[in-house]
Amino acid sequence: MPHWRDALADIPLDECFFRMMTPHEVGRGCGFDPDFGDHKGTFTVWGKGRDQIDGYGNAVTPPVPLWIGTRLREVLHPTSG
């Protein structure tokens, strides 16, 4: 991260912009697979954009339970070696 801090230190604030992420971008970033560009997802999200964003914010993304389950399995069923 230090190299990013140095690179960004000289950028004037006037050259910094903000863009809201769209619902499908948030969904993909959270690990869900909604429709995105040419990708036809299998996960359906209902509601208007704001409701979709709120829903993603309240969700436990798919990678989280996988990560927890993998760690629990290692503890409960350790492999020898």
User: Domain limits of the chain?
Assistant: 20-76
pLDDT at 47 over 80: yes
The model's confidence at residue 80, banded by pLDDT at 50, 70 and 90, is low
Q: Give the model's pLDDT for residue 66.
A: 85
Give the residue from 51, 32, 54 showing the smallest Cα distance to 43: 32
Q: If we measure between CA atoms, which residue out of 15, 31, 22, 18 comes closest to residue 64? A: 31
pLDDT the model gives residue 72? 92
**Quick one: how far is CA 44 from the chain centroid?**
16
Chain segment 22-43, per-residue pLDDT in tens? 888 888 778 777 776 787 877 7
